[in-house]
């Protein structure tokens, strides 16, 4: 039968994490609390950094932007997932699915690039301390953050264009709780060999290259700290330890999901939970609990709020 005789899919059905009602209620409670923690924790970091003049260094400027991206990233998937967990029919329109895919990769790729910039910031602070203020000036920070958003937008546009040019004529069941590239293009009623490798080279290689750059940066930092160790380096190394935990939580699942053939290997939606839920939840906890300056600023902010 000719391709033109098929009707185009107008909606997708999301299978979610489980079809058991008891587990759905449990997941709803857990993910609602997780989403609330992401919003409140990251908003608290943004307000703290913006209101305390002592937190005006490039590291905290980048941390503030990371918190904003985390809010954007988790808000693309979590509200829809929460609604579906209490709904009988988990349908999403084709246009809404493509929009979710676009904004997920927009925020996700921007976060990858920003984490790479944060690693460069720590490398400069530890390995080139005398030139740090000149290299990481406020203008340079704004330029780097803008480049992160621009890179995320270009990456997401490519993913979206490669997806919408595929014919979807059935089936329309996505074995996940949100629309992402691997489970969506697997439903295309055509050969996707070339498309999936183009997408893997886009998403997968970006994840891998950024991760390798981060590992290289932190390797240089460890070597520098080992050779020239002092109290200031110990403080910077403690900050780097927080960054490494965030990087591991974020990049390892992305590399596992995107740097492999989409059609031959099943997608693991439970791995997706790590990058879309756990990583944004852990970011504010890691950066506040392991950073004395941020904790002190939050304590002062709390005192000021009590006064009012």
CA angle, residues 28, 32, 37, in degrees to nearest 5: 155
Q: Tell me what pLDDT residue 4 has.
A: 46
Residues 181 and 203: beta-carbon distance below 8 Å: yes
Residues of the chain with pLDDT under 50: 1-6
Please give the Cα distance from 307 to 298 (Å, whole number).
Answer: 14
| This prediction's pTM | 0.88
Q: Tell me what pLDDT residue 228 has.
A: 62
Q: Tell me what pLDDT residue 266 has.
A: 62
Q: Give the sheet arrangement for strand 91-93, strand by strand.
A: 91-93, 11-14, 173-174
Q: Tell me what pLDDT residue 66 has.
A: 92
Strand 91-93 relative to strand 173-174, pairing: unpaired
Contacts of 177 (CB under 8 A, 6+ apart): 14, 15, 16, 17, 77, 81, 84, 269, 272
Q: Tell me what pLDDT residue 259 has.
A: 82
To which residue do tokens 């492999």 refer?
Answer: 260
Nearest to 28, CA basis, from 75, 67, 84: 84
Q: Tell me what pLDDT residue 286 has.
A: 78
Q: Tell me what pLDDT residue 202 has.
A: 84
Q: Tell me what pLDDT residue 191 has.
A: 84
């Amino acid at each position: 039968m000719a391709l033109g005789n098929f009707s185009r899919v107008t909606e997708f059905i999301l299978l979610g994490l489980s079809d058991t009602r008891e587990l759905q209620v449990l997941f709803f409670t857990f993910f609602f609390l997780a989403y609330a923690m992401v919003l409140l924790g990251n908003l608290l970091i943004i307000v703290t950094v913006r209101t305390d003049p002592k937190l005006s260094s490039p590291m905290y400027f980048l941390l503030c932007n990371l918190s904003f991206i985390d809010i954007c990233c988790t808000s693309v998937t979590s509200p829809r997932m929460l609604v579906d967990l209490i709904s009988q029919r988990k349908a999403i329109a084709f246009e809404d699915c493509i929009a979710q895919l676009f904004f997920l990769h927009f925020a996700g790729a921007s976060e990858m690039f920003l984490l790479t910039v944060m690693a460069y910031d720590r490398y400069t602070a530890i390995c080139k301390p005398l030139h740090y203020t000149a290299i990481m000036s406020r203008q340079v920070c704004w330029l780097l953050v803008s480049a992160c958003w621009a890179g995320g937008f270009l990456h997401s546009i490519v993913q979206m264009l490669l997806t919408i040019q595929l014919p979807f004529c059935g089936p329309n069941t996505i074995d996940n709780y949100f629309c992402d590239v691997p489970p969506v293009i697997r439903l295309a009623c055509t050969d996707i060999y070339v498309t999936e490798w183009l997408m893997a080279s886009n998403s997968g290689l970006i994840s891998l290259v950024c991760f390798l750059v981060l590992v290289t940066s932190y390797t240089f930092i460890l070597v520098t700290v080992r050779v020239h160790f002092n109290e200031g380096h110990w403080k910077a190394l403690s900050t780097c330890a927080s960054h490494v935990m965030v990087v591991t939580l974020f990049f390892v699942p992305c590399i596992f999901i995107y740097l492999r053939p989409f059609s031959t290997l099943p997608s693991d939606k439970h791995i997706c939970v790590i990058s879309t839920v756990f990583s944004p939840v852990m970011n504010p906890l890691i950066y506040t609990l392991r950073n004395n300056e941020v904790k002190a600023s939050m304590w002062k902010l709390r005192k000021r709020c009590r006064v009012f």
